[in-house]
Structure 1
Amino acid sequence: MKADPPSDPAADIAKLRRHVRILVDLGRLATEATDLDRFLDQAVVLVARAVEIDHVKILRYRPATSDLLIEAGIGWRDGVVRSSTLPADLRSPPGRAFQTAEPVVVPDCGRARGFTISPLLKQHGIVSLANVPVLVDGSTWGVLEVDSVTPRQFSEDTLEFLVAAGALIGTVVRRKVAETMEADRLASANSDVRQLETLLREIQHRVKNSFALILSSISLQRHRFESQDVERALDHVANRINAISLAHDQLAHRDGAQVVGLAGYLRALCRSIEQQTEGVAVDVDADDIELALERAVPLGLVLNEAAINSVKHAFDDGVGRISVVLKSGVGYGEAVLAISDNGRGVDKPREGGSGVTLMKALARQIGGALDQESSTHGTTTKLTFPIIR
């Protein structure tokens, strides 16, 4: 695999000068930017020139769908930019950069152990890539990614340039977000609500940072072990942490309490689960219900546990469908969450299994009851719980 670029003192000096010159251009552009979309479109062109690469993109994390939207890009086919998404989980290179707030380099996509390369990249012939996080107020807003159609090792100098570019991009994003927030603040007549929303965003940022540290630690530990059993166990833990993190993404303030809109939360969680599979589709039909955070998290963990179990065990050929339904107005102020798959089923769900035991414990936390049925047509897990904020 060739170096980036060939080791040559004269070439190295020329590359560093180019990086400095383009960082200056990017910094000037950052101070003059009045429109965020236009700035991002210009930024990817400058990064492409600096790294001498044809494909560059800036991705923004969307909490509602738990994915990374391509906000700006160069070198991609028509219809990709501001339309296509990439997964935000740890097995996606940009997802791992987002979750851990650390650079991620994949020199050979064909031998990317622990990663799943997006079909979008394969369609464009991408074989090597590098990602750096775009940080806003210490939290990861998105990712800057450069992609090569020829094998490439991204040098330390190149990564340092990308980190600096990502920092400049984050500065502009922060300013534009602040300007939008200020405009909203001036348009709002209720200062108390504004203060509570600001406090909630601050809490969400801090919690998100804590989850990023934990996921980063899990990612590092994962590569220390050769055992697939250990890797699977760590992946399972990471999935559970991600389920809790997604609940915090959906937090809103209602009547003096912090609540989670379950419809949006379950859709984001199912989207995250679907991104981790090749042939399993996850459908969601959810009523609009709001629960307090401490009640929504166990609900999400039950969904995560049941769906992951289906992904791992229900489908012989790895292809199938999972249906998630949340209905209110059941019984006396109750709701039902049902997770069903169209897999092969099991003779009798294992009563003492760790998965069932965990789900029943989570159900008890919110005063609910768990029931699981299985047949040759699939397995259904039902959680009936009271709707109490």
Structure 2
Amino acid sequence: MHDDPTTAPAVAPEEGGGAAEELAYRLRQQQLTAEYGHFALRTFDTLALLQEATRVCALGLHSEYCKAMEFLPEEQQFVVRAGVGWKPGVVGHARIGADVESPTGYAFQTGEPVISNHLEGETRFRTPSLLLEHGVRRAINVVVQGEGKRFGILEVDSPTEGRFTEADLAFMQGFANLLGVAIERQQFEAALIASEARAQAGEAELERALAHQEVLTREISHRVKNSLSIVASLLALQGRMSSNAELKQSLADAQARVQTIAQVHDRLWRQDEVKTINLADFMGDLCNQIRSTAAPGLTLAYDFAPVSLPTDQAVPLALLINELVTNAFKYAYPEGKGEVRIAIKPTRAGLLRLEVHDQGPGLPEAFDAQTSSSLGMKLIASLSGQIGGRPDWRSSGAGAHFALDFPAEDAPRDR
């Protein structure tokens, strides 16, 4: 996983951004969650899983500190297994009490997440000395647990003023749920490998083990979808409570984008392969879904090459297609009648070309995608950068045309 510097501006509530920036912030959180789910399937090192989780959670909440703590039953303490931002000597060594007087211990013992937005005035818990030493003012603690026993706590800490919200908590809890299942899956696979090495596992036991591994893999997908559903519900609730028509529309758009991530993620997990997908089948299903929800007078024609695509590119590419098509429907055909065409074909060696065009009035005069303040345009630029391409917009009497050349590891090469 990596963070793309071209990502659209995403501003946390306490950072003072407008509605569009905060919506980009929430959308980015859910995209990070989905990307981490795929990372977890390809990673067989528990420490690497924990470390990446702390890095991405800190990134998702714009926080300086994050740590993953494992509970040590014999010591009745937590040890900091992974983290970002902490002074040397903390990760791998620092111990934190597991009693209910501390926010970490309370979350672990009760299974309930804890938000502390004013640690200096906190009366419910004792603030751990580690947080005091680093000037932490607010924190979120969530339990890391798979289908079995609890592993520990995932905690994001911030030294800045502000408030963590219920939406932040949903992001963190979804992440911790993913991490818990991924750790359990790794532990199970390690035990299975050891069993095979000792030649003690019979055929029936091996079949049961493989079936359990499949269940755990599906559980990761289930938990990602649950996290996305929670955020979509929060956005819908906020929209119903708002009297501002522009804000209501922005929240509805954000909700639709989160639901798209959930749908894309669901399709991805239904594939037989983990590392690659069939472009034609995967994107064809997505376009059929978009077409089924469009107005009756709007049509979508598509043509995708039957090539394999790395799953790392599948989510941002699918989100890009969804954004481009819905934008075309909205702006090219405001009366609700017209056709959008989309294609992905191999071009020169190792490259694929995405093209989307309509037959509407074309782009506005003086249109500049790079300076546009539209959240949709910022997302298109960000997603294009994530799959390794640079968008090219053109306009003519025949409508607007979008083109993007991007690399694909398994794309066929022209001869």
**TM-score, normalized by length of structure 2?**
0.44
Q: Tell which has more relative contact order, 1 or 2 (C-alpha 8 A, sep 6+).
A: 2
**TM-score, normalized by length of structure 1?**
0.46
Which structure shows the bigger proportion of residues in strand conformation? 1
